[in-house]
Amino acid sequence: LRAANEELRAKLTDIQIELQQEKSKVSRVEREKNQELRQVREHEQHKSAVLLTELKTKLHEEKTKELQAVREVLLRQHEAELLRVIKIKDNENQRLQALLHALRDGAPDKVKTVLLSEAKEEAKKGFEVEKIKMQQEISELKGAKRQVEEALTIVIQADKIKAAEIRSVYHLHQEEISRIKKECERGSRRLMEEIKFKDRAVFVLERELGVQAGHEQQLDEKDARRFQLKIAELSAIIRKLEDRNALLSEERKELLKRLREAESQYKPLLDKNKRLTRKNEDLSHTLRRMENKLKFVTQENIEMRQRAGIIRRPSSLNDLDQSQDEREVDFLKLQITLETAGYVKSVLERDKLLRFRKQRKKMAKLPKPVVVETFFGYDEEASLESDGSSVSYQTDRTDQTPCTPDDDLDEGVAKEETELRFRQLTMEYQALQRAYALLQEQVGGTLDAEREVKTREQLQAEVQRAQTRIEDLEQTLAEQGQDMKWIEEKQALYRRNQELVEKIKQMETEEGRLRHEVQDARDQNELLEFRILELEERERKSPAINLHHTPFAEGKSPLQAYCEAEGVTDILVAELMKQLDILGDNAVSVCRSPDLCMPPHWLQQIEETESALHRKMVDLESEKELFSKQKGYLDEELDYRKQSLDQHILELEAMLYDALQQEAGAKVAEILSQEEREKLKVAVEQWKRQVMSELRERDAQILRERMELLQLAQQRIKELEERIEGQKRQIKELEEKFLFLFLFFSLAFILWS
């Protein structure tokens, strides 16, 4: 169970390390995601700003171009209208002149008046029509002029706002530059003041140094003599210390030699002790086997005699006397064998104790370094444990030997009653033994031999490191000879050794206390066993076996009745049994408690990591949905921009078509020659192609940027999906590990219970 607990602790530490790694990975992923989102936002903002500036510039250029084109078209229309009016008036004048010439040649006055009236009416009608047309054109030109003026005012206001912003930024920069200049001037002044102050200090120090130099020249001779004397004294001290160091190193070497000799002398004694303990154990095992055989043979002999007594009845009083004598002789033989076995056991135990005391005396006489103490302390503990195991084995064997009293042959009913009583006693004794084992486990749980050995090994390693450090320092001191720091290091090492010695003493006292507790527990165990044996002996030798069945009162066990019969009133078997049941239930509840199955701290941490991973999965899925929404928004924005650009193109084409389809345009076309018309058409087609190519390039660029963004978003979505799958796999692995640990602990504690 200890090995399983260690393995499970190692697994739990590995799981904790993995969880910490996962947490660091998750935090790193979050940081990367935030950085990427920030970069994407900045990139998008930059792109949007660039696009806005480009669009503003392009719109401004397009507006200016459109205004210029409208101005040119209006001027051309106005000129064409003027030419048309002039031509009409010229034609009218020519017609009127022709009529006048005709009238002069001999037409009557009536015809002249009629023609004049008709001409006046036609002229009035034409003038009114032309007047209306001119008024309409003037109103249209005024509206176009208003629109152009509004656009110009908007552009001028935007330019003014930009100029104000640029002025404010310029003023801020100027203020910052002036502030930095002032700070630099202050810093330069401060540095100049510091330089002047330091120059003064250097001058003062040089002057003092010149004064001191003259004074020092006077004191040099005295100081030189004093220093020579000090150097001689220090060299003498160093020689003394070197001699002392050499003596200490020689003493250390002698002590190490003695230690090795003592170890070499002590190893055969240890081997001999181990061999003797093994021989003693073998002898005890053989003795137990012989005792068992002897008991088995005596039981068979008794059974055979009982059968023989049943077959043949005693014919006379002499036969009865002979049978009684034989039974007494057999009983005395059995007692002699048991007493001899107990005597042999006591002799063997006494020899063991004498050997152990001799070993302790030798160990006390020998010089005890720390390593040897830890080694022998561990052997003593093992020997004590082996003694305890032998004692427990003997007690178990004594439990299994039933006490069969030498009854008469004709009393079978009494024999059955005694067997029932004996079974009850054995059951009570076994319950007491189990409870005592639980108590011993609870009391002896603080005694951890492995931990003690580990601490001893650690202390031993620290002492060895300190010894090697001392040797290195001694070597360096012997090589250098002039370094005085070794004294401080030696003092520090001496303090460290003192602390280690105190730690060793504390550990030894704790070890002695624990051994004392273990010995007390063993003594209590032996006392209980001895008490049970005494009760069994009394029950065997008591006159309650004489065929009379004594009825027990309600709520009283046979053991309680016998205790009261023997005068032992301080033992209550019912309370003892209740306490044993309570202890057993407590032990079972402790064994089955979830605190032993799995530490709640680790369970809570695993559950927290699982919930964090689930939250991370949900966040990643929400990010995926957000990316898909952004993709949809981008597609919609792209479609909207395309539609707006197409609509703008259609509007421009309609304006162009309207301009060409107007009467003025038609009249201008009549005025223009065939070559000029073809040139105009070619220019219009080129402009259309240029506009369409620019629009296509712009659409292609926007599409490329959107496709790159879409590819990045798809790649990011794939990475997030892979991370989600990795997190799911890790969650599954954690769940499998948790399930494995839960099953392992449950199985282990089922087996333990």
The whole-number pLDDT of residue 656 equals 61
The whole-number pLDDT of residue 199 equals 73
Average pLDDT value over all residues in the chain: 69
Nearest of 540, 556, 715 to residue 624 by alpha carbon: 715
Q: pLDDT tens digits, residue range 441-483? A: 655 544 445 666 676 777 777 777 777 777 776 676 666 554 5
Lowest mean pLDDT among 105-114, 335-344, 407-416: 407-416
- Position 574 confidence tier, pLDDT thresholds 50, 70, 90: low
Q: Give the residue-averaged pLDDT of 362-368.
A: 51
- Position 100 confidence tier, pLDDT thresholds 50, 70, 90: confident
Q: Give the residue-averaged pLDDT of 636-656.
A: 66
Tell me how far apart the alpha carbons of residues 444 and 446 are, in angstroms, rounded to a whole number: 5
DSSP state, 550?
Answer: P
Maximum average pLDDT range among 387-401, 535-549, 697-711 = 697-711
Q: Sign of the CA dihedral 77, 80, 86, 92?
A: negative
The whole-number pLDDT of residue 294 equals 75
Q: Which long-range contacts does 16-22 make (Cβ < 8 Å, 24+ apart)?
A: 16/602, 16/605, 19/605, 19/606, 19/609, 22/609, 22/613, 22/730
- The proportion of the chain whose per-residue pLDDT surpasses 90, expressed as a percent, equals 0
The whole-number pLDDT of residue 680 equals 73
What's the per-residue H, E or C state across 224-278? Answer: HHHHHHHHHHHHHHHHHHHHHHHHHHHHHHHHHHHHHHHHHHHHHHHHHHHHHHH
Lowest mean pLDDT among 78-87, 402-411, 619-628: 402-411
Within 8 A by CB and 6+ apart from 436, the residues are 525, 528
| Residue carrying structure tokens 């695993």 | 606
The whole-number pLDDT of residue 546 equals 43
| Residue carrying structure tokens 């070794």 | 486
207 or 673: which leads in pLDDT: 207
Burial class (CB within 10 angstroms; exposed 0-12, middle 13-18, buried 19+) of 74: middle
- The proportion of the chain whose per-residue pLDDT surpasses 70, expressed as a percent, equals 54
Helix (H, G, I), strand (E, B) or coil at 619: helix
The whole-number pLDDT of residue 547 equals 40
Is the pLDDT assigned to residue 320 strictly greater than 60?
no
Is the pLDDT assigned to residue 409 strictly greater than 70?
no
In the chain, domain spans:
2-106+608-752
The whole-number pLDDT of residue 80 equals 85
Is the pLDDT assigned to residue 301 strictly greater than 70?
yes
Is the pLDDT assigned to residue 390 strictly greater than 50?
no
- Position 652 confidence tier, pLDDT thresholds 50, 70, 90: low
